[in-house]
Structure 1
Amino acid sequence: MKVNKWTIHSGVAAIIPREDIDTDQILPKQFMKLIDKNGFGRHLFFDWRYSDLEGKVLRHDFVLNEDAFKNASVLVTGKNFGCGSSREHAPWALSDFGFRAILAPSFADIFSINSAKNGIALVRLKEEEIHWIMEWVSKNPGSEIKINLETLEVTIANKAFSFPLDSASVNRIRNGLDDIDHTLKNEREITAFEGKRKTENTFMEVCW
């Protein structure tokens, strides 16, 4: 799955007003045996989205199954999102579903690292700001939120909120870099090092 790169994103916001949503709720463990990043979005929040084990019967009371939020790309949720195990499959599922940003008061550390390299911006806002946004979206379903990685601002209903995001994460998201892409930025240096090492090893063999 190609990492989506973006600098400014506007998208429909969906809210899940729960705290401590862990990675097993985001993507249940039975789907971790899949190895292709594509298609994980279908299994996102599986136990909340479906009422059967095969994933054929939708729960009509879950937000992502509602018409106004089926194409949501911004998630607004409670604190400590992404806690639990360190599985990178959770960000894969969020990204494959279409989410580009998650707004919450706090996030689990390892989940934060995995999200940036999958094109997802984690937007930390104050609890009162998250509460205000949730209230607005609840009263105005289908509302869009704009996230700007240049100014580090969130805009909704003509209100702007600033948020922190480290430069490394911003760089990854704006350039669509996963770990392999990040490493290959130094391909010339790596090739030079390998060539030098090969020459040194050959010299040592001759000496022996």
Structure 2
Amino acid sequence: MREALVRHTGTVAPLERSSVDTDQIIPARFCKRLGRTGYEDTLFSRWRQDPDFPVTSARHAGASILVSGPDFGIGSSREHAVWALRDFGFRVVVASSFGDIFRQNATKNGLLTAEVPEEGAARLRRAAAARPDLPVLVDLERRAITADGLVVTFDIDEYSRWQLMNGLDDLQATLSKGEKIDAYEATRPGWLPTTIGT
């Protein structure tokens, strides 16, 4: 099981860009590595050549919440985009819209994608730009993001919310119902195929 995410407090890295595709998050040439970790140096590799790029600037060092413009994570379905964000230290990405496959990959890897109205995302980005050390609380139970009097509610489907709050990926969610699966298998006629546990 991975770490459950119910409430997370951190600082924000503001990304004033829209339509951020997965090739911008992690270029394809870095997707040839084996394993699911070790991608932190590849995140936004083209953009971070600019020392003023806010996500990787010293002003926002240690930020664990990324707040982007709309259409974050569009493009190819590479899971590496989520791995790079997690390896860099992000637990939450906030935007007004996400690529569908990116959102699914994020949930499976313990990264919360909090969908908010664009005005709310813009206010969070402005607040973080003015005060990089501003603590921001993301509360998955309440579906709310709060920072110094600012409250922004977000949408997330109920199943993804349950998975994140319980620290489960799809396989772990299935295995958590092991007793029910065993009970069902015990009632099936013996001539039908069965699954054999490891």
Deviations 1:165-187 (A, max 9, x none): 11111111111111221221233
Between the aligned partners of 2:10 and 2:167, the Cα distance in structure 1 is 18
1:87 counterpart = 2:78: yes
With over 3 angstroms needed to count, the CA separation of the structure-2 counterparts of 1:200 and 1:141, relative to structure 1, is same
When the two structures are superposed, what TM-score results if normalisation uses the length of structure 2?
Answer: 0.88
With over 3 angstroms needed to count, the CA separation of the structure-2 counterparts of 1:46 and 1:196, relative to structure 1, is farther
When the two structures are superposed, what TM-score results if normalisation uses the length of structure 1?
Answer: 0.84
Q: Which stretch of structure 1 is more off in the superposition, 124-133 or 191-200?
A: 191-200
1:103 counterpart = 2:87: no
Q: Which stretch of structure 1 is more off in the superposition, 32-41 or 71-80?
A: 32-41
Higher radius of gyration, 1 or 2: 1
Do the aligned residues in 1 keep the contact of 2:12 with 2:125 (CA within 8 Å)?
no
Do the aligned residues in 2 keep the contact of 1:15 with 1:137 (CA within 8 Å)?
yes
Between the aligned partners of 2:40 and 2:163, the Cα distance in structure 1 is 21
Deviations 1:78-104 (A, max 9, x none): 101000001111111111211111111
- Indicate the RMSD between aligned Cα atoms, in angstroms: 2.1
Deviation at 1:4, TM superposition (A): 3.2
1:44-193 paired onto structure 2 within 5 Å: 44-50=43-49, 59-191=50-182
Between the aligned partners of 1:150 and 1:69, the Cα distance in structure 2 is 26
Structure 1 residue runs of 5 or longer lacking an equivalent are: 51-58, 203-208
Secondary structure of 1:180's counterpart equals helix
Between the aligned partners of 1:19 and 1:178, the Cα distance in structure 2 is 28
Aligned length, in residue pairs: 193
Do the aligned residues in 2 keep the contact of 1:3 with 1:117 (CA within 8 Å)?
no
Deviation at 1:160, TM superposition (A): 1.1
Do the aligned residues in 2 keep the contact of 1:117 with 1:176 (CA within 8 Å)?
no
Query: Which letter does structure 2 place at the counterpart of 1:95?
Result: R
Deviation at 1:164, TM superposition (A): 1.5
Paired-residue identity, %: 37
Between the aligned partners of 1:138 and 1:201, the Cα distance in structure 2 is 61
Do the aligned residues in 1 keep the contact of 2:15 with 2:55 (CA within 8 Å)?
no
Do the aligned residues in 2 keep the contact of 1:4 with 1:118 (CA within 8 Å)?
no
With over 3 angstroms needed to count, the CA separation of the structure-2 counterparts of 1:3 and 1:27, relative to structure 1, is farther
